[in-house]
Structure 1
């Protein structure tokens, strides 16, 4: 029996019509590399053959009787690729504006929970360089967060990719599906789990209390990560709607690595510095720049250190100040590097499975009711801001990949947005480039392009300051 972990199930309970919990990706393909000329039917058929033995693509949810416990995964015996892979064409002229508008609309649609929780929309007619440019194909992917986190999501996409256009995809068939138990067994297991939950709680309380004690000591010593509920309020920190806006941008990974080497920092430090600068410029243009720094939640994979075997999501999170109150990029980078070192040390002192342990106590009925009440009462606007946004940095492949034979020209990841934090920025490296995807509540960030267009500008500003410092030293 393949039971969802508490953390996986929490993403189901967090979902409302406005707060959708799927992760998306905009994959731009160059069809000229395909061994045979592109056709939708051929692509759909190839995908059908590739995903049928992969549980993440062909399993669906089954509720537990009386919702006493988290749902289980069972194989969808009626799996039909036509319900998951769809075809669309961009309206004329088929450029960037038309693409992001369509993708924002698709991102705002919920997934059907009666089927496996994923969709692909194959979008034809994309001409990024104008009507006279070369036509490309875009695949817009949606996968529920209950199925994947950032790292496993990237791995799942790579399952469908190859290193050469004519090579077989790298993924190997898994063909391991959870057993579908009968009603009495499912009810009995749920009752036992409910009865033993207080014992599990007792095991979690002591180490959690120790974490709090150590965190207080770090805070007094000035070596703790930034604290939640210390963020300034911005226009994207309120109750969100179901409308979305999307923006995409690119940057050079080589330039980021050069800055990293010259300053003794990390790629993540540089990425967060660029994000802080872009947010500062965006808010300054709107006359909304707070005097104190914005606070970001940065998801961290604990896949290597987790002791848990099951569960799709193996993540924790750290909080970091983005230095939006610092004008000069190099000063911001130096500040962020120091704070991130403290945050990482603080995070390492916290057991990797703490978040997963506590998520086991998310009751299916009460958790969902609490989320809906929180949204309906607009409580996100009535308490101190927990965090301003989520920023993820997902390492991608260092070499070109081919999706069903088509070279992946760009891959822009997009995470979910939440009540109280209506903006998500996700960065992914791909074959020497960095692809930046921003998704937001449309009412909170009406023009996401006004934000992401500052990323390459901030990279140029930071590069020049670093070069100047190196030349003068």
Structure 2
């Protein structure tokens, strides 16, 4: 990769979408077993050694004068550890809930754009001697699939499929380009881009026509953004604050839901994830006496990379499909059926649209778009209309076997993407060995009790399995204790690799 490269419009869009209350970074959390290697100095040493395997961690965003085009990425000669590595002490008796609170604080501040857009936070002081490494990287630099590939490049493992992503980068750092060079290249690239405009228009017309034809003949319906999303308390203007919670459940139990509901044709693991999220949200809405006029809807990121290409280590290549969570259906089997049917149609529509939105983002005018987003946020525009959808739900397959990072055993891995204006809840799922790790990110000024919502996920899974639910009275349990016990139980899982996990 060149030392200087133009950002794609889709990547740069995540920069333009950032405001004082909307932080567009993602989090990757690695919980490590006790080890003599779990030191701050060793973390810096290990990551510095592997920077050549992590292209986004050497790239700095350089804006173009007068915002004539999207910014460029410049490879830095050196990384200043003081700007990227941070240390936290939870106190020596820290619980998982204490770690989650700290992660919420880490997520509540934006990244510094004067350096490459990432941070690593070493969180020490957990009661069991474990430590957590919280990676914070801007969405403009990597989507979930690219972040997954980068994670593989810092793992010590011999056989996991993720190791196919390892590659080196020999590019040396360079000085920042001059203003005149940035302007000349922006004008040149803009002129070349205009040549592609007729092809993009024709392609988009064909794709839209295919979508219209499909919608006319499909049995059922797929929710439309804004039109079909009901208002809820967590679909309002964001504030800068973030809160975070996790819940871990056996992968085998989620797969068992498919066996219990074998009569649902084409039922996928992702459908089960959506149904579990739906069941948890139904309980939370009941607890808060919220009764939306219709079912909640979900935006589901969909990777557009071909399955047979080399994994990416940088950038974004995703679309979004819109589906129902069927929260207005009481019967769990009927709810799962509705989710599965609707999501199947949503995938078909997303396939027909392809990368149209990503391609059109190349023509986004940087200055006007960023100014419009900032004005919308400042004026709290999200209060004036329904959100595009109610909640973000993402599902990314993680390592299939137990792995190490810098010699320390990886006990668990969690991930979560950003919130967007008007959408105050993100549920991101990463698998690890034989478990499914759900991470919930919220704005506490919209959804103040994320740990209570997280506690409802096992209940929702039990409901789908037709089994007695765990204790339902979350408020009767000391704060964090029930979920800490759950983490302790699932930390005892064995080393059995799981099978394929469907991509969203």
* TM-score of the superposed pair, with normalisation by structure 2: 0.84
CA distance in 2, matches of 1:430, 1:53: 22
CA distance in 2, matches of 1:91, 1:268: 38
SS in 2 for 1:360: helix
Aligned pair in 2 of structure 1 residues 178, 263: CA closer, same or farther (>3 Å)? farther
Match of 1:143 in 2: 137
**Deviation digits for residues 415-466 of structure 1, max 9, x if unmatched?**
1001111111101100111001000111011111111111111111211269
CA distance in 2, matches of 1:54, 1:238: 36
CA displacement at 1:182 relative to structure 2: 4.3
CA displacement at 1:336 relative to structure 2: 1.3
CA distance in 2, matches of 1:448, 1:360: 36
Match of 1:232 in 2: 230
CA distance in 2, matches of 1:356, 1:215: 17
CA displacement at 1:225 relative to structure 2: 3.2
**Deviation digits for residues 327-384 of structure 1, max 9, x if unmatched?**
2222211221111221122222223x21221111121111110101111222211123
Aligned length, in residue pairs? 453
Query: 2:222·2:323 contact (CA, 8 Å) conserved in 1?
Result: yes
CA displacement at 1:285 relative to structure 2: 0.7
Q: In the TM superposition, what are the counterparts of 1:31-50 in structure 2 within 5 Å?
A: 31-32=34-35, 36-50=36-50
Match of 1:104 in 2: 104
Deviates more, 1:258-267 or 1:333-342: 258-267
Match of 1:187 in 2: 183
**Pairing 1:269–2:271 present:** yes
CA displacement at 1:31 relative to structure 2: 2.4
Aligned pair in 2 of structure 1 residues 318, 394: CA closer, same or farther (>3 Å)? same
Aligned pair in 2 of structure 1 residues 310, 243: CA closer, same or farther (>3 Å)? closer
CA displacement at 1:216 relative to structure 2: 3.0
Match of 1:131 in 2: none
Query: 1:26·1:139 contact (CA, 8 Å) conserved in 2?
Result: yes
Match of 2:494 in 1: none
Query: 2:25·2:417 contact (CA, 8 Å) conserved in 1?
Result: yes
Query: 2:92·2:126 contact (CA, 8 Å) conserved in 1?
Result: no
Structure 1, gaps ≥5 residues long: 128-133, 467-473
SS in 2 for 1:90: strand
CA displacement at 1:271 relative to structure 2: 0.5
**Pairing 1:200–2:196 present:** yes
* TM-score of the superposed pair, with normalisation by structure 1: 0.90
Deviates more, 1:428-437 or 1:250-259: 250-259
**Pairing 1:360–2:365 present:** no
CA distance in 2, matches of 1:267, 1:126: 33
Query: 1:425·1:436 contact (CA, 8 Å) conserved in 2?
Result: yes
CA displacement at 1:396 relative to structure 2: 0.8
CA displacement at 1:7 relative to structure 2: 0.3
Match of 2:326 in 1: 323
CA displacement at 1:198 relative to structure 2: 4.4
Q: CA RMSD in A?
A: 2.5
Match of 1:471 in 2: none
Aligned pair in 2 of structure 1 residues 42, 376: CA closer, same or farther (>3 Å)? closer
Match of 1:153 in 2: 147
Match of 2:495 in 1: none
